Amino acid sequence: MIEARGLSKRYGDLVAVDGVSFQVGPGEVVGFLGPNGAGKTTTMRMLTGFMPPTDGTALIDGHDVFADAQAARRAVGYLPEMPPLYPEMDVQGYLRYVATIHDVPRSERRAAVDRALERCGLTDVRRRLIGALSKGYRQRVGLAGAIVHAPPVLILDEPTVGLDPIQIQEIRSLIKALASGEGEHAVILSTHILAEVEAICGRVILIHRGRKVQDAPLSELTAGGRRLEEIFARETLRDEAAPDAAAAPAEDPR
- The residues of the shown chain that bind other proteins, judged by CB under 8 A, are 45, 48-52, 69-70, 73-74, 76, 78, 80, 82-89, 93, 97-98, 100-103, 145
Closest CA to 95 of 79, 74, 109, 77: 109
The letter for the amino acid at 249 is P
| Cβ at position 76, least distance to other proteins in Å | 7
Secondary structure of residue 125 in the 3-state scheme: helix
Query: Of 47 and 221, which CB lies nearer to other proteins in the complex structure?
Result: 47
Min separation Cβ 134 and other proteins, Å: 18
Q: How far is the CB of 52 from other proteins (least distance, A)?
A: 6
d(CA 64, CA 61): 9
* In the complex, minimum distance from the CB of residue 212 to other proteins, in angstroms, rounded to a whole number: 23
DSSP state of 103: T
Q: For the residues of 192-218, what is the DSSP string, one character each?
A: S-HHHHHHH-SEEEEEETTEEEEEEEH
Least spacing, CB of residue 11 vs other proteins, in Å = 8
C-beta closer to other proteins: residue 45 or 209: 45
* Closer to other proteins by Cβ: residue 73 or 172: 73
Nearer to other proteins, 73 or 126 (CB): 73
Which stretches of the chain are DSSP H helices?
Answer: 40-47, 69-74, 91-101, 106-119, 135-147, 165-180, 194-200, 218-221, 228-237
When the beta carbons of 136 and 202 are compared against other proteins, the nearer one is 136
